[in-house]
Amino acid sequence: MAERRMFAKTIVLSDSFLDMPMSTRCLYFTLGMFADDDGFVNSPRGIMRQCGASEDDMKLLLTKKFLLAFDSGVIVIKHWRINNYLRSDRYTSTKYIEEKNSLGTDENGAYTTTKPVGIPGGIPSNGIPRLGKDRLGKDSTPKGVVERKRKAFTPPTLEQVKEYANTANLNVDCDKFFAYFTTPDDAGRTWIDSKGNPVRNWKQKMLTWAGKREEQTAARNRSRNTLLNYDEKGRAREDVTSVELDLDEL
């Protein structure tokens, strides 16, 4: 069985995925790491307990169709073939043949519970193609994700921003974040990033903002540990250089 696992950005950065609580997303990633080379997991509840997830997290992944369940207790990651493609010499077929044979795949490669006519089961004779950077484009984009991207952007309220920060456990100054993106630029536009492009996913921007905050804190701590000056009496004093959040990189 292959030792590496991948997760497609079209799946894990979609609004449908990011709307879920952090614990639910953590469970999805953990299941992805323990799945076999066809995306099947035979002990989902044990993994759920291992990462501290709850029954509600599992139910949410099933309800939103990120997972498919079988009567045998086995689950499969619906978008496995979008997330992971393995070379034939590194691929080991799943032991859950009956469950796999009950599945089909749609035009994007995602598992479906109804097997389409004319789509052969099993693994192609030449193996499963390896996923390259060029394969992460539009040919591997799930239909539902494409449809969501076409919807008009709806700016959040400050209350929604604060609620998401609390749900996702983000260390973010929500008032500062909201003020930054709601302040009109020279053309009178709001929710514009530093490159002048309209914001498409404000939650992803908030995750980026939180990451920059962590980098700022780490840099400040390094400064405290390394930048020391001495006064005229030869006594050491701390000289901490402030590190500002670079909003231009958002």
Residue 28 has a pLDDT of: 93
Q: Characterize 102-132 residue by residue with b for buried, 16 or more Cβ atoms within 10 angstroms of its Cβ, and e for exposed.
A: bbbbbebbbbeeeeeeeeeeebeeeebeebe
| Dihedral in degrees, nearest 10, Cα atoms 23, 27, 33, 36 | -170
Exposure string over 17-34, b if 16+ CB within 10 A, otherwise e: bbebbebbbebbebbbee
pLDDT in tens, 207-229: 888 887 777 676 677 666 655 55
pLDDT in tens, 122-169: 433 344 444 444 444 444 444 444 444 457 889 999 999 999 989 888
**Is the Cα torsion angle 190, 199, 161, 176 positive or negative in sign?**
negative
Give the Å distances, CA to CA, from 7 to 18, 140, 174, 187, 236.
14, 12, 29, 38, 49
Domain extent listing, the chain: 9-149, 158-249
Q: Which of 42-56, 111-125, 218-232 has the lowest mean pLDDT?
A: 111-125
Q: pLDDT grade, residue 250 (50/70/90)?
A: low
Tell me the average pLDDT of the chain. Answer: 75
Question: What confidence score (pLDDT) does residue 145 get?
Answer: 47
Task: Specify the range with the lowest mean pLDDT, choosing from 36-45, 118-127, 185-194, 219-228.
Answer: 118-127
Under a CB-based contact definition with an 8 Å cutoff, are residues 243 and 219 in contact?
Answer: yes
